[in-house]
Amino acid sequence: MSLLDTIQSPADLRALPVDRLGELSDEIRAAIIERVSQTGGHLAPNLGVVELTIALHYVFDFSHDRLLFDVGHQCYPHKLLTGRQGLFRRLRQGGGMSGFPSPAESAFDLFSVGHAGTAISTAVGMARGDELRGESYDPRTRPDGRRVVALVGDASIVNGIAMEGLNNAGTLRRQFLVVLNDNGMSISQPQGALAQYFDRLRLSHLYGDFKKGARRILRHVPGGGLLEDAYHRLGEATKAVVCEHSWFEHFGLVTVGPIDGHHIPTLIEFLSEAREFDRPMVLHVKTIKGKGLEIAERDATRFHSPAAFRLVDTDPDDERARGACRVEVKSAGRSFTSAFGDALVDLMERDDRVVACTAAMPDGTGVARAIEMFPERAWDVGICESHALDMMAGLARTGLRPFLAVYSTFFQRAFDQAFQEASLQGLGVRLCLDRAGFVGGDGAVHHGFCDIALLRTLPGSVVMAAMDEPSLRCGLELMRTLDDRVSAIRYPRDVVDMRFCEQLCPAFEIGRARCLTPSLAIEDMEVALLGLGPAALWALDASRMISDRVCCGVWDARFAHPIDEDLIERLVRAGVAIVTIEEHAPAGGFGEAVASCCMHRGLGEARLTRLSMPDRFVAHDSRAAQVRACGLDARAIAGAALACVGQSLAEEA
C-alpha cells in the first residue's frame, strides 16, 4: 500500500513524521500526473503546491480552522488529503471529483471557487463572522478558536477584488493569514507593475533592505517574540524574511518571506509561527509551477490545463525521471478559440485601428498570436477583467476599435464597466466571449450561461453567436464596423463544425437570421427550429432525423439582440410552430427574446417551445454529456419538434 493510500483525512497526515512527508509529496505528484493525463485538467498549478498544501494541513486543522482558496484550480492536493481519493479516479467527469473546490463534495471546501481574487474577501468575512459568534482564535482568551487562512496564487493577487480584500484585512485585530503562492506565473506570464515588483524581489538574493530592521519589527509587533525565536533558530537567512518595506505593509499586514515553498520542514516551521500570530500576516511562499514534471516546469502555460495527454519516453533505455519524457497531447480538431485567434490577426492586418486585449488568458482566448505579431496593439493585462474593459473604453474614445477576448463566465466581472464606460458613452467596445454555454470538465464555476441576459439590457447593443468558423469571421467583421455601441459574439469551448466551411458565408446584417434550409418555403413548414450558435447545427441534424415525419425549417438565428422579429412574425402568422435552442439560461436568453417579440407584436397565437440550459447549476462532465443531459442534443430537439405536431420519437413513422 502506498503512503497516500493511508491518508483518508488530514488527521492521518498529521500522524506521520515530518521526514516521511517528502515521500508523500512524490506520491501525490505522481497521482496528479497520471490522472490528468487521462482526463485533462489543471496540471501545472497543482504540481506547484503539493508541499505547501501538505504543510498547511500538517499545521492547521481545517476541519475546524478556515481555508479559503483563490484560483481554485490549485486544489487537487488538498482534495487528495481530505478523503476524496475515490472521487479522483473520475476527475472532472460525471459523478467524479470537481476540478475546483466544492462544498457539495466535502466540508473542507468552504466555497465553490472558479474566479480569481475572492479568497481574501471571503476570508475576511469568515474572520469577522467567527469573531461575532465568539469562535475566533485569540491566544489569550480562545487558544482553541478558529484560525483563518487564505491561499492566493497564480498572480490573482493583482485582481481588484483582492486589493479591496487586503484593504479590509488590514483592519482586523486578530489572527489572519494570507499565504501568497508566488510561482512567477499567472495562467500565462504575469503582467503589470505588481508582477514586476515580485520579480525584483525574487531576483534579490539578500532581499535588499528587507533585511534591515527585521529584528526591530519583530520586537514591536504582537506575537513578534515567536518569530524572534525563529530568527535565532533558523540563522542568517531568516533575518531577511520579515519585510520592513513590503508592499503589503501599506495595507497593515506584516509580511514574511519569500521562503522556499518546496521545503516542507521550512514551510512547517513558518506556518507554525504564523498559526500563533494574532494580527494579519502575509506569508510569501516561492514555488515552481509544474514542479516535478520537467516539461510542465519549462512550459507552465501550455500545461496549465492541458487536455488528456500521453507521456512518451524519449529513450526507452534511459531510466530518467518522468520529467525527461515528451508529451503527446490529444486533440479533437480545430477549436473555436484557434479560429478566433486567426480571425483576430486577419482583422488587425486589414485595419490598423483594431486593437485587442485579454485578462490573463492570451492562450486560452487565442490572443497570444496577436500579441506576438502586434505587441504595440495587443495586450494581456493580467487577471483584471474590469480594468481590461475600461481600458478598451478609453481606447475606443481615442478612435480605435478595441476587441476584448474574455471567457463568458469572466465577462460577468466587467458588466458594470460595459454599462457605464462603454454603452452609456456610446463607445464601440467589442466583446469576444469564449467558453459560452457548457464548458465540460470545468463545470458550474465556468459555464457561460448569462452573458446574453446581461448584454440584452444595454440599449443598442448587438449580441451575436457563431455556429462555425465562417460565421465567427462574419460576425467579427460586422463588429469591426460598429463604432457607436457595445457588441459581442459568443462561441463555445468546442471544435468547429466543418460542414459549411467550403460555402460562402452570407454577411451578417444586424437582427437578421440565416436560413439553413432555403429550399423549404415557410408556407410548407410545420415547425421552425431556430438555433443560436452551434445549436443551429444540432437543429439541422434533428430536422434530418425526422424529415419523413414533419417538415422542419432550420435557421441560424445569429442574433440574440436584436433578434429577427420580422421572421418570427412571418412564422407565427403562417401557423408554424417555433422551437428555440440555445446554450444559455432560460431567463433573459434568446428564447425569452422570441417570446417577448410575440407579445409585443400581438402574436398571441404563437406556438413556442424554448430549449435552453436548465434553471439550475450543471455539474462537471464532458461537454457532450452536458448537452445531452440537458436536452439540447439533436435527438432531444427532434423530440421537441415532433411534440409540436402531436407526435413523439417513440411512435412509428
**364-415 confidence digits (pLDDT tens):** 999 999 999 999 999 999 888 999 999 999 999 999 999 999 999 999 999 9
How many domains are contained in the chain? 3
Evaluate whether residue 583 is within a structural domain: yes
Residue 498: inside a domain, yes or no? no
Give the end of a domain, one of 475, 490, 505: 490
User: What single string gives the DSSP state of each residue in 219-270?
Assistant: HHSTTHHHHHHHHHHH-GGGGGSB-TT-GGGGGT-EEEEEEETT-HHHHHHH
- Return the pLDDT at 204: 41
- The pLDDT assigned to 300 comes to 74
Interior/surface letters 74-103, b for 16+ CB within 10 angstroms, e for the rest:
bbbbbbbbbbbbebbebbbbeebbbbbbbe
pLDDT of amino acid 407 = 96
Q: What is the pLDDT of residue 383?
A: 87
Residues 585 and 624 in one domain: yes
Top-confidence residue, 330 or 101: 101
- Give, in order, the Cα–Cα distances in Å from 45 to each of 14, 76, 118, 283: 24, 9, 18, 18
Same domain, 137 and 21: yes
What is the identity of the amino acid at 544? R
Cα separation, 100 vs 293, whole angstroms: 22
CB-based contact 125:164 (threshold 8 Å): no
Q: Does residue 316 belong to any structural domain of this protein?
A: no
Domain co-membership, 30 together with 138:
yes
Beta strands in 89-233 (DSSP E): 148-153, 176-182
In a domain, 58, yes or no: yes
Q: Which residue among 385, 421, 582, 592 is the active-site one? A: 385
Domain finish residue from 474, 490, 506: 490
Exposed, middle or buried by CB within 10 Å (0-12, 13-18, 19+), for 184?
middle
Q: What was the pLDDT predicted at 395?
A: 96
- Look up 413 and say whether it is catalytic: yes
Residue 302 CA to chain centroid, in angstroms? 15
Coil, strand, or helix at residue 580? strand
Query: What pLDDT, on the 0 to 100 scale, is given for residue 72?
Result: 85
CB atoms within 10 A of CB 276: 15
Domain shared by 256 and 375, yes or no: no
Question: Are 88 and 59 contacting, i.e. CB atoms less than 8 angstroms apart?
Answer: no
In a domain, 294, yes or no: no
**554 and 473 share a domain?**
no
Distance of CA 498 to the CA centre of its chain: 27
Q: What mean pLDDT is predicted for residues 558-580?
A: 97
Residue 559 in this model has a pLDDT that exceeds 90: yes
CATH of the domain at 439: 3.40.50.970
Q: Tell me: pLDDT of 331 over 70.
A: no
Q: Specify the pLDDT at position 615.
A: 95
From 66, 79, 291, 413, the catalytic residue: 413
Residue 353 sits in the same domain as residue 221: no
119/182 same-domain check: yes
Residues 6+ apart with CB under 8 A from 588: 450, 452, 453, 454, 456
Catalytic, 385? Answer yes
| pLDDT tens per residue, range 335-351 | 999 999 999 999 999 99
- Mean pLDDT in residue range 509-528: 96
Question: Which residues are bridge partners to 136 per DSSP?
Answer: 146
Q: What is the pLDDT of residue 318?
A: 52
Let me know whether 197 and 263 are in one domain.
yes
Residue 181 within a domain = yes
Instruction: Using pLDDT thresholds of 50, 70 and 90, give the confidence band for residue 328.
Output: low
Per the domain annotation, does 101 fall within a domain?
yes
Residue 289: active-site member? yes
Which of 366-375, 495-504, 612-621 has the lowest average pLDDT?
Answer: 495-504
CA–CA separation, 442 and 97 (whole Å):
11
The secondary structure of 262-307 as a DSSP string is: T-HHHHHHHHHHHHT--SEEEEEEE--TTTT-HHHHHTTTTTSS--
What pLDDT was estimated at residue 193?
52
83 and 195 share one domain: yes
Q: What is the mean pLDDT of the chain?
A: 87
pTM here is 0.85
Is the predicted pLDDT of residue 232 greater than 50, yes or no? no
Mind giving me the DSSP string for 474-529?
Answer: HHHHHHHH--SS-EEEE--SSBPP-TTTTSPPPPP-TT--EES-TTS-GGG-SEEE
Q: Report pLDDT digits (tens) over 79-91.
A: 999 999 999 999 9
- Residue 68 φ then ψ, to 5°: -110, 125
Q: Which three cell numbers stand for residue 493?
A: 469551448
Residues 14, 139: one domain? Answer: yes
Domain CATH number, residue 591: 3.40.50.920
Mean pLDDT value of segment 311-326: 53
For residues 113 and 216, membership in a common domain is answered with yes
Q: Domain range holding 453?
A: 336-490
Residue from 66, 286, 289, 610 carrying the catalytic annotation: 289
